[in-house]
Amino acid sequence: MENESKPETAAEPTKLPAKKKHKKWPWIVLASVVGANVILLSTCALILKNAKNVPNNYWNQQITGGPIEKKYAPLGSFEVASKEYAQEKVDGKEKHFKFFHPKAMGKYPLVVMVNGTGVPYQQYEQVFEHLASWGYAVVGDDYDQSWDGVYPDKALSFALSNGETSPWVDEKKIAIGGHSQGGEGAFNAAIDFANSPKYKCLFALSATNQELALSLGWGHKLGSDGKAASDSYAYDLSKISCPALMFAGTGNFDTQTVLPLEKLKENYSQIPNGIPTVMARRGDNVDHGEMLWRSDPYVVAWLEYWLKGDEEAGKAFFGSDCELAKNVHWQDYASKQ
């Protein structure tokens, strides 16, 4: 079942001498290449400009519109511990995984967090802390590239195999989620790897749309020149096999560049029928960067439902009295099961 709510006689041209015509072509090609690169660099610059640190104690700044969203907006009851683990160098720079977990010994559901462009875990550690405070183990990294799912997959393997982290992880309850480029990375990590079947649910916050991703070189089957070909794709949502939550913002950068409503709807429609899927956009002109933390209360509710079996949390997304459908701070809700 699918529900939607709220939303939108001429003169002969002068012929140049062959020599001049031949000389002009390289400049036309060069101008086209330069123009394309300028657009690409401008888009990257905009993405990086929108890649902001998550505000300190952001949980005190949430504006909620329903009891479930309100419940999961503040910190949970668990005290949190964390540790950083050095990894191999990339381009001469040491990289890291970081693992968060409740201090109380136990097996906890695991959340793999996937970086957005210019946002390594160091810029949104408070999101990890918030999730861990609700009883989750969380792993992330500071690798620059995430779209292809390679490093998120390595982060999961690390969390499951490292002797210090694995004792905290319930291997039967694992989720993955990301923001922006990380949303694309979450999709690909849930599709293309031996670990992919381990994910019980995913969430993608303002995930980079297919066309933009390909223009940035974040895609599969690109040409030898790095450009998109007829069979290129950024992610294949028809292969998603776990419940998917997809959010976007209503500010200018999301609506005009990263994930316009029609692109969010495209992604939603490509998830196979029978796979529980929810989409919505945050209203109040909340834009791309803020979606990383403005979405957090409902992300926790999504995890509570799919990883802990909390039926009350599930009412945020499904049912005749679905909270997300009537929340005044959200719009363009749709769901399918």
* Mean pLDDT across 113-129: 96
**Phi, psi values for residue 276, rounded to 5°:** -55, 125
* Mean pLDDT across 162-173: 98
Number of residues written out for the chain:
337
Give the number of C-alpha atoms closer than 13 A to the C-alpha of residue 237, restricted to the C-beta side: 25
Q: State which H helix or E strand residue 303 sits in.
A: helix 296-308
pTM: 0.86
- State what percent of residues in the chain have pLDDT above 90: 82
The predicted structure's pLDDT at residue 1: 47
The rounded distance, in Å, linking the Cα atoms of 45 and 333 is 30
Summarised one tens digit per residue, pLDDT across range 80-116 is 999 999 998 998 999 999 999 999 999 999 999 999 9
SS3 296: helix
Residue 113: strand pairing partners:
177
* Mean pLDDT across 50-68: 89
Instruction: Evaluate if residue 130 carries a pLDDT over 80.
Output: yes
**Phi, psi values for residue 333, rounded to 5°:** -70, 140
* Mean pLDDT across 23-39: 41
The predicted structure's pLDDT at residue 88: 87
